[in-house]
Amino acid sequence: MTPSIELQSDTLRCEIAPALGGAIAGLWLGDIAVLRSTPTKALTSARQAGSYPLVPFSNRMGHASLKWAGTSHPLVQNNGDEPHAIHGVGWQRPWAVLEADQHFALLSYEHKADASWPFAFDTSQAFKLSANQLEMTLSITNQSDATAPVGLGWHPYFVKRSGSRISFKASGRWEMSAEKLPTHQLVASGLDCDCAVLDVDHCFEGWTGVLHLQDEKLQTRISSSLQRLVVYTNQTRNFVAIEPVSHVNNALNLMTSSGASAESLGVRVLQAGESMSAQMSIHVEHAL
């Protein structure tokens, strides 16, 4: 098993677990956990980690079925009893370490077409740690011979404390069915509320790319080049999942059922050899 990587600045520390889906095991400001944080040796799955990459799609692919270019592709139901395929394949595969030092790490994963995803691709993650900020870049290149749909994102779990408050601006929100699949979009301005009373599991459209999370210990700013945001928490959870993503949940199946275009739902269609990248950063300071 590839050992964990530890990035360290004057104030921030980040532990990465390449073998567990290229996940971030933990992120700490001093001794305060920013993300839900567990040492790598105590993790058995990326789903227990502080964050993991979403590639080559985010959230759920309804009923583990993909229809693309006139062909139906059954996918693997990869999350227990849930009937869907979820969060792509990167989070369940080991990543190779291409470069690592005290402040920077570069990981890669090469995917050959299989039952989980029928298109070959290469993907990489770059992590750069500075005094108060973790910067991440996630990239993918279509290595199949045909055009392929792709999406990117991150799934960080931020610690929810008694005084946690979330605020961001958006233009819309997708409503969800009992199957946890999107049904229709409503006008929504984002969120500005205490996390303790929040019950949400939705994809927001038109995100401005900046979100603030503040509590009695930390002031955190999450920013991204992506324009959609999935937020998930409720009163039973001790975390707030704040997920910058490139496309709407179940977007590929929504294209088929609604006739919506790939562009309108955020799906990138890559030609053979074409690439896509996205950025995300977490800036954190002690609360005043």
* Domains of the chain as residue ranges with CATH: 5-286 (2.70.98.10)
**Binning pLDDT at 50, 70 and 90, where does residue 1 land?**
low
Q: For residues 40 and 62, give the distance between their C-alpha atoms in angstroms, rounded to a whole number.
A: 31
Single out the residue of 54, 32, 50 nearest to residue 40, CA to CA. Answer: 50
**Binning pLDDT at 50, 70 and 90, where does residue 10 land?**
confident
Buried b (16+ CB within 10 A) or exposed e, 250-269: bbbbbbeeeeeeeeebbbbe
pLDDT tens digit sequence for 129-155: 999 999 999 999 999 999 999 999 999
Q: Please say whether the beta carbons of 3 and 107 come within 8 A.
A: no
With tokens 């601006």, the residue in question is 169
Average pLDDT, the chain: 96
Q: Using CA of residue 168, residue 172, residue 176, residue 182, what is the dihedral sign? A: negative
pTM above 0.85, yes or no: yes
Q: For residues 58 and 65, give the distance between their C-alpha atoms in angstroms, rounded to a whole number.
A: 14
Q: What is the pLDDT of residue 2?
A: 65
